[in-house]
Chains A and B, each alone.
Chain A
């Protein structure tokens, strides 16, 4: 699944570690989601949406 994590991070000047700390996950998890190697569960996708104050469908896009 495609996503806009990298762009949203860049807009806020956050590193992967910064986002990982906000989500309470490892930096490797953020990396894996960002590069499309891992699709997060619904609870984690909701947490990502909350952190970026956006809707899930504005962050995660269909292939």
Chain B
């Protein structure tokens, strides 16, 4: 099972979380079952992490820094789901105001800040200059994508065509661009692979 492509585990995890969100929105599940399901779905992050490492070894892109980055990715992903769930549940249940509301509103951003720190940390810790350059290039592709999406969406919004997009989508779009950049590089590396 571990030998499966990381994208399969990623899809299982993503679809699982979306499924739970849908069930909750439809009122079909409530506390504590939503938390139980999130924990069960989050368990797929363990084989996802292993599959990512196997993939990196097979592609020749494994390094201690990359392993630490993958481990930190698991931490922020689980932390984000848990803290977002806690913050939304607490707001919807107790309707707090003032400092408590501020605290709850900032809670889901903490794992994202950790993610941003871990990406910077990877660049510091990576001793392999080619792998470091790959990550920087992927980051530039991601930044380009984010700027394009933000500019186009912003004007569509100004002219009343597109609905308002919350600014926290920026990290999601950027992460998508990072994945896209990595995929482009893997494709390029595969073409030149030694037989």
Q: Which A residues have a C-beta under 8 Å from some C-beta of B?
A: 15-17, 20, 24-33, 35, 37-38, 40-41, 44
Contact = CB atoms under 8 A, between A and B. Distances in A.
A7 to B, nearest CB: 14
A27 B189 CA distance: 11
Contacts of A35: 192
Most buried by B among A24, A28, A35, A44: A28
Nearest to B191: A35
Contacts of B59: 28
Contacts, number: 45
Interface in B32-74: 59-63
B interface, by DSSP: helix, strand, loop or mixed?
A: loop
Nearest to A38: B130
Nearest to B134: A28
A35 B80 CA distance: 41
Given A15-B194, A24-B127, A25-B130, 13 more contacts: A17-B60, A25-B129, A26-B60, A26-B61, A28-B60, A28-B61, A28-B189, A30-B60, A31-B192, A31-B194, A32-B189, A33-B130, A41-B129
Given A16-B194, A20-B60, A38-B133, A31 B128 contact: no
A31 B133 contact: no
